[in-house]
Structure 1
């Protein structure tokens, strides 16, 4: 038993800026953007050792994307949408603050910037497009069956089988898109918390919209986070499972991304991913088949990076992952590896 200090947020009551129609938005509290007074109060409460450990894990999970120092948090505890929305995060080293913007917690390096902007690769910008984000789960993802993808339910169950050794832990669903699998993971009850992470603001808004249609998800430990896959805002060795559905081929630097995934995984943690294998059908003009000419034409002829199975296995192993295994059907591959 122990006495702990609990952060309490004292919020003004009257402001309508964040009041919206719809089940999910009306569920979230009204928060004033003009004045927010916060304070720490010492609350003597009797909690068990296991509960203390759960609180500790939660507080140490988010980290600064600049220096990777754990973020301090002021506001209600928990990973559900309501708690994250009402919380503020800060890096004591960089003095940078982070908060929920609209419907997600923005933990990118550029969070809060107003004048600075930079261009991203086509493969990254494509999914930030509102129309693409809207259509992704409403038809586009279903076309993946033509390449061998098994369908959402079977694909989800395949991933669940791989994650069985880390049941009860935190799961990070990177490049989650509209949250197709994030929502399934959260509803399964198999994890203590699920974080749906994507670089696309519009994909996260779509995820938020889908969550709003399912009341059972409102109180689940499911948080929406915007972040760069090559700069994950989590402490090293802090998560138990990482899922990346149909994502590897879209990443600007798959090697940097897998290295980051390896960094945040705990020892014994599991990484599961699906992607399209390199074939004549999906990459007839890839840089790997055209050599130097392909390097010149790549920006206009091949938006994505497709790999052979051996390359994916080699990448996982060189990033410190072991026990690699995979299942292949035509251009589809689901692969899994563990942190040593």
Structure 2
């Protein structure tokens, strides 16, 4: 049985105060509002719509949403970049690395997890078996699929919001755990994203992710050029990523490299 979701701790980016839910009965009235009047965030089809940049990634991933979890997209690419040493199901390793069973929470409470760039909710749905999860993404099409799939699976422990990874509308120290899977290499400013994730994690909170590194098939220039041209992929140098994580306030950085796929875990100081 999955955990039961509680209202996420959304906070105003301008004044820092907690946003409250305003729902007066009509669909057009559903919103999160700042008590100082500094922000109003509409809720459309059950998804809060925070400000996001208007760029090509949103349009591209909206188009990919219908096929993202089909046999034609994620699995073939994962096998290609991960190689024969990659785990059969990446989600199992991510959940194992999160160590949800070791989260220090009150009796009866579930650990809280933020899934950054959640896409269609592949990771969020798996984690929701043992935690209350908030998934955020800029692509409305991805989020609509994520909401539909979670409802299809009868999961109550997930909330989704349209939100940019470099501007998280949450209180500091709001989450026990964080994930960012298969997205860090797509983000324009990963350093800001890492800092934001560190800000919203509690001290000692674990951050787990997967990303692409300059290894295996991504050492080949034609493959790198195709990845850059199609998805604007910027694979990391593993040593550089370790330094970026430490600069963002993470320690105990661990890497598990499988082909060009890097599974990582770090702890917020």
Q: Same fold (TM over 0.5)?
A: yes
Task: Give 3-state SS (helix, strand or coil) of 2:68's partner.
Answer: helix
Q: Residue by residue, what CA displacement relative to the aligned partner does 1:29-56 show, whole Å, maximum 9, x if unpaired?
A: xxxxxxxxxxxxxxxxxxxxxxxxxx9x
Give the match's secondary structure for 1:234: coil
Q: What residue is the counterpart of 1:100 in the other structure? A: 43
Task: Determine if contact 1:123/1:251 at 8 Å carries over to the other structure.
Answer: no
Question: 2:11 maps to what in 1?
Answer: 63
Is it true that 1:137 corresponds to 2:69 in the alignment? Answer: yes
In structure 1, C-alpha distance between the alignment counterparts of 2:41 and 2:257, rounded to whole Å: 40
Conserved 8 A contact 1:174-1:242:
yes
**1:72 and 2:23 aligned:** no
66 and 306 in structure 1: CA distance in 2 versus 1, 3 angstrom threshold? farther
Contact 1:235 1:264 (8 Å CA) reproduced: yes
Q: Which has the larger radius of gyration?
A: 1
Contact 2:116 2:165 in 1 (8 A): yes
Matched residue, 1:166 = 103
1:144-155 matches, within 5 Å, as: 144-148=78-82, 149-152=86-89, 155=90
Answer yes or no: is the 8 Å Cα contact 2:81–2:216 preserved in 1: no
**TM-score (normalizing by structure 2):** 0.82
Q: Deviation of residue 157 (structure 1)?
A: 2.3
Q: Separation in 1 of the partners of 2:11 and 2:22?
A: 14
Q: After TM superposition, give the deviation of residue 72 of structure 1 in Å.
A: 2.1
Distance 1:163 1:280, change over 3 A: closer
Gaps (5+ residues) in structure 2? 105-109
Q: Find the counterpart in structure 2 of residue 209 from structure 1.
A: 148
Residue 107 (structure 2) aligns with? none
Q: Match of 2:136?
A: 197
Q: CA deviation at 1:184?
A: 1.3
CA distance in 2, matches of 1:280, 1:301: 19
Tell me how far 1:229 sits from its aligned partner: 0.2
**1:283–1:100 CA distance, 2 compared to 1 (3 A):** farther
Root-mean-square deviation (CA, aligned residues, Å) is 3.0
Q: Corresponding residue for 1:259?
A: 195
Give me the whole-angstrom Cα distance separating, in 2, the residues matched to 1:231 and 1:173.
14
Q: CA deviation at 1:68?
A: 3.5
Query: Taking CA–CA contacts closer than 8 Å with sequence separation of 6 or more, which of the two structures ends up with the larger relative contact order?
Result: 2
List alignment gaps of at least 5 residues for structure 1: 1-54, 77-84, 111-117
Q: Give 1:185's aligned residue.
A: 127
> Residue 243 of structure 2 aligns to a residue in which SS?
helix
Taking structure 1 as the reference length, the TM-score comes to 0.66
